[in-house]
Amino acid sequence: MILRKFFRHRFIFVALLLIAIIILIINVFSKSAYELSLLTKAREKIFSKINQNDKNEAINIDVIDQYDVDKNIIDNNNRVNYPVETIKCTVIEETNATIKTVETFSNFKFDAEWVRKRKGIWQDEFTERYAQQKGDKSRPPLKVFILPHSHNDPGWLKTFRGYFDEQTKIIINTIVRKLSEYKEMTFVWTEISFLDLWWQSATIEQKESFKKLVNDGRLEIMTGGYVMTDEANVHLYAMLDQLIEGHQWVKSYLNITPKIGWSIDPFGQGSTVPHLLAKSGFEGAIIQRIH
């Protein structure tokens, strides 16, 4: 008798549990369908306010001017609470440039003999090409700017600490010593991650010499990011985070704000870093590897 009651009560419990699960599933799917319906209506409301040409343009470049949309189209819960009525996308305006790499890229002769059979840094073909172009009076005179610098990767073939102990520490020590010795010499530095590590073990005299060189304008901090960020695979927020980290350091220890960008080793140049630099008050930037 006791065993029969136990199984009967257990059956009732399992049945109630199954009913509760079914109700929960139905509620979730109903809520999702409701949310999707609201999202669809909001999207239709936006596109109903623009003509077909504007609609095609908006789809192609993903830019929509501000329109009123129902606020909080998804209920206020732990997942999403997005006030869509505040959305406003900024239309990206084309800027003027002396050289547009998109247009000139096709003119680069990457299949030239001297490119395909490159041997060493300098080749005889370079001398021959220079001799030919030297006599062309239509070409503007070549301006050469020499900026002593040392590019230090926080991570590549060695560890961050390995690079610092074996190379970078010696490099920064040499910079401070030689610039103090040769009064007309200048230098540029970018990677604040290494500078931060060097600062932790530098002597008081080295720190004071470093700050004096910076204040005298002979040692310039370029970009001021914690690293020289990659521009192909890195997310926007990682780019911004390392820039903030580096700028906070140079402001705290050197009391400066970098004004010139220095991106000479990223494998290609994007538009995101220049945008961040411009919004950070930068006056210009130097780039390399436009291919």
Which residues, in sequence order, are CB contacts of 51 under 8 Å at separation 6+?
A: none
Joined together, the tokens standing for residue 38 give 């609201």
pLDDT band at 97 (very low <50, low <70, confident <90, very high): confident
Round to whole Å and give the CA distance between 188 and 171: 12
- 265-281 pLDDT tens trace: 988 888 889 989 999 99
- 102-116 pLDDT tens trace: 777 777 777 777 677
Averaged pLDDT for residues 40-54: 52
Of the chain, the percentage scoring pLDDT greater than 90 comes to 41
Give the burial class of 65: count Cβ atoms within 10 A of its Cβ; 0-12 exposed, 13-18 middle, 19 or more buried: middle
Mark residue 168 as left, alpha or beta (left: phi above 0; alpha: psi -120 to 50; beta: remaining).
alpha
Whole-prediction pTM value? 0.62
List the chain domain ranges: 19-86, 141-287
User: Which residues participate in catalysis according to the annotation?
Assistant: 265
- 191-238 pLDDT tens trace: 999 999 999 999 999 999 999 999 999 999 999 999 999 988 889 999
Q: At what angle do helices 169-181 and 192-201 cross, to 10 degrees?
A: 80
**CATH T-level topology, domain 141-287:** 7-stranded beta/alpha barrel (3.20.110)
**The pLDDT value given to residue 91:** 56
